[in-house]
Structure 1
Amino acid sequence: MDMGLKGRKAIVCASSRGLGKGCAAALADEGVDLVINGRNPDATNATADELRARGVEVTVVLGDVSDPATQDALLAACPEPDILVNNNAGPKLRDFRELDREAILAGVTQNMVTPIELIQKVLDGMAERKFGRIVNITSMSVYSPIAGLDLSSGARAGLTSFLASISRSAIDRNVTINAILPGKFDTDRIRAGLEFGAKKSGSSIEAERERQEHAIPAGRFGTPEEFGRTCAFLCSAHAGYITGQNIKLDGGLFASAF
């Protein structure tokens, strides 16, 4: 299927690795020119080279996307984005008793405030140009709690509620805002979770991985590549009637009829 995206421009935050990289790669395959972002120069530049090999223009903006200066640099590199993929690292796994006010505010800034700030900066321009796709990478923990990720879950749930009406405010001008809620994907984040779970249960990382995969109806962790293809569809010309939705991508792990 032709996604109707060739020649479009996208900002993909936190895209040097993992799910963000998967989204950037899928968009590159559709002919989208990219501004990618990461904090590690070596990893981010290596990803940029991989993406350029797919035949698109790629600009690198280094820095923490929660830093206003980094956000300004992203918009300077791509003043009129057609697509914004909001992604950011979440707070580390820890017992909620270990969180002080500074840590809580930092987590909310990472996973709620930052995407809102970027949406504020791009939404009206997208509406004027009559095309815009905003995809927020949140988490299945918005629906189903994960021990140790309470701060991440709360901040992402706040983002979801905050955007509920905003996502319906510009669809008449062909601008959509949706979220993808990843379950367990084979990324650095899940590997940190495996270490946390193994330590908590007194088992090995391999045993913890097997236990977690066995609990997923699909019998495996997801891949960044398949996550990216879902993102590309939500960004496509064919998804203009989808907005305000939270797409669960979890191999059937969350058991619910609705």
Structure 2
Amino acid sequence: MDLGLTGRRALVCASTSGLGEATARALAAEGALVAVTGRRGDRARALAAELPGAVAVPGDLLAPEGADALYAGAVAALGGEPDVLVLNGPGPRPGTAADVTSDDLTTAVDLLLRPQLRLIGLALPGMRARGFGRLLAIGSSGVAAPLAGLAPSNLGRAALAGHLKTLAAEVAADGVTVNLLLPGRIATDRVAALDAAAAERTGRGVEQVAAESRAAIPAGRYGRPEEFGAAAAFLCGVPASYITGTALRCDGGLVRAL
């Protein structure tokens, strides 16, 4: 299937590792011109050198004015505004709902809402004017079914999901789609860190925690990053033009709901 992404410009946030990297690789493989971004400038440059048509745009999305600087750098490096914007970034610390503090709320907003909304505000006018745009947020299965022990993340990601659903209806007639892609347990450093935190919290071994987690997934395994990247690339492509306002799960059947 031709995804119609050849020559399209894509800005992928936090794409030097994990799900962001998997998405950047998949988009580049489809012919998109990808801005690889992240705080690790050396890693961004190394990955961009591997991918056809990719450019490195080092930067800290969470720094003051970080979103503006990142967007301006991407526009300059890509030679124009992005047709595809993939929102991604780190999540808040683990924690229970009963223990959420006002500081946790502030952190959730600063990590999962404020920079994302600023980037959308910068990219959206051009997408609407050109009659084509793809806004895709890498979320969490916690949007569909809140995850125990990740209350701050559940809070921030649900707020972003609500905003994106509202936005999708407002811009659909302009050729801009707005979707979320929700990973389950994908084999990334982030998931490994969560398994380690759960092991420390419960006094069990990391491998025991991981084995129990795999047993809860109908597919019987963690997902591969490239499987997630393929789903992301499809949602950013032309064949997905009639899919908007949707949260698609890539979770091996983990969430037991349609």
Percent identity, aligned pairs only, is: 41
Identify the residue that residue 3 of structure 1 maps to in structure 2: 3
Identify the residue that residue 22 of structure 1 maps to in structure 2: 22
Aligned residues of 2:45 and 2:55 also touching (Cα < 8 A): no
Query: Within 5 A, what are the aligned runs for 1:36-115?
Result: 36-51=36-51, 55-63=52-60, 65-76=61-72, 77-78=74-75, 79-96=80-97, 99-115=100-116
Aligned counterparts of 1:127 and 1:4: Cα–Cα separation in 2: 18
Identify the residue that residue 126 of structure 1 maps to in structure 2: 127
User: Partner of 1:45: helix, strand, or coil?
Assistant: helix
Aligned counterparts of 2:71 and 2:200: Cα–Cα separation in 1: 42
TM-score by length of 2: 0.92
CA RMSD between the two structures: 1.6
Identify the residue that residue 192 of structure 1 maps to in structure 2: 193
Identify the residue that residue 164 of structure 2 maps to in structure 1: 163
Aligned residues of 1:171 and 1:240 also touching (Cα < 8 A): no
Aligned counterparts of 1:175 and 1:206: Cα–Cα separation in 2: 43
TM-score by length of 1: 0.92
Alignment deviations for residues 102-144 of structure 1 (CA, whole Å, 9 cap, x no partner): 3320221211222111111111210100110010011101122
Aligned counterparts of 1:240 and 1:225: Cα–Cα separation in 2: 22
The 1:68/1:235 distance shift into structure 2, 3 A limit, reads farther
Q: Number of residue pairs matched? A: 253
Aligned counterparts of 1:20 and 1:170: Cα–Cα separation in 2: 25
Aligned residues of 1:35 and 1:61 also touching (Cα < 8 A): no
Aligned counterparts of 1:255 and 1:102: Cα–Cα separation in 2: 32
1:61 CA displacement: 2.5
User: Partner of 2:245: helix, strand, or coil?
Assistant: coil
- For structure 2, which runs of at least 5 residues remain unmatched after alignment? none
- For structure 1, which runs of at least 5 residues remain unmatched after alignment? none
Alignment deviations for residues 184-203 of structure 1 (CA, whole Å, 9 cap, x no partner): 11111111111122123322
